[in-house]
Amino acid sequence: MATDPRDQVFVTAPALAALLQGPRPPVVLCVRNPRTAEMAGASRIPGAVDVDLPTELASPGGGTRGSRPLPDIGALQEAARRWGIRQGDAVVVHDHDRCLVAGRGWWVLRWAGIADVRLLDGGFAAWQGAGLPVATTPGAPAPGDVVLSPGHLGVLDADGAAALAREGLLLDSRVRPNYIGATVAPGQARRGHIPGSVSAPAIDNLTEAGTFAEAETLRHLYAALGADGSRPVGVSCGAGISAAHAVAVLASIGVEASMYPGSWSAWIADPDRPVVVGGLPG
């Protein structure tokens, strides 16, 4: 594996094309949120296997578990074997949305013990933009034999997220209007943010072209928010999707961060949890 943190987390389209010609090519996964029948014939990286985020990278949600709880490890292992992942395989994850949902695939597979998982920088658009081959048939790999186990990345529950917001740094990767909050109609979910959390929208990690910003840009961005290695860091979002993207970005600049999988959807399900509505701190 690469030694540069960025190269351990991201791979460019040309580099992926070269790896796919190698003696043991990586398994390529395309995360869909959700996967639909219409996507079966869509253009894709040759051999890429579609992954359904709601059913394969999450378990049924509700209440204080949040809307996208982590998957059962046994079910995830079965899915990973369907995707063709063998023990020791490298995996490249991408999507059609600037890796904002593919990050969930990266995080879940790393959490489950797969050491070499990378995000395709720029997603499918970067592959297509590089003039690389595309296919219209989903990959149909032979079953894999990977063995998964949970707990290889840091996980926060609601109490842990609250404590980190007080004593460390809890980043909120949702778009700023959701962080700031607003008056909502009766029956709608509360908006706002966890007390003490700091707004850090995942979209800020990307260039206008949809690729990840340069490492130095990301270091400055997160250092300004307090993620400079001096204190523990966690990330929350709406349901553990853009937060996973942010954890990957932080890893690419050498900052280890835990994730609150339940995130806002779990936090507001408990009426006793405080909510802050208002502008950005500072």
Instruction: Give the whole-angstrom CA distance, residue 135 versus residue 112.
Output: 29
Residue 76 and residue 62 in contact, taking contact as beta carbons nearer than 8 Å? no
The dihedral built from the CA positions of residue 134, 210, 208 and 126, taken in this order, carries a sign that is negative
Q: Please give the positions annotated as active site.
A: 237
In this structure, what token pair is assigned to residue 113? 């013990």
Which H or E run includes 31?
A: strand 27-32
Q: Checking DSSP bridges between strand 169-172 and strand 198-199, what pairing results, if any?
A: parallel
* CB neighbour list of residue 252: distance below 8 Å, 6 or more residues apart: 5, 6, 8, 9, 10, 212, 215, 218
Cβ-based neighbours of 32, under 8 Å, separated by 6 or more: 39, 50, 51, 52, 53, 95, 101
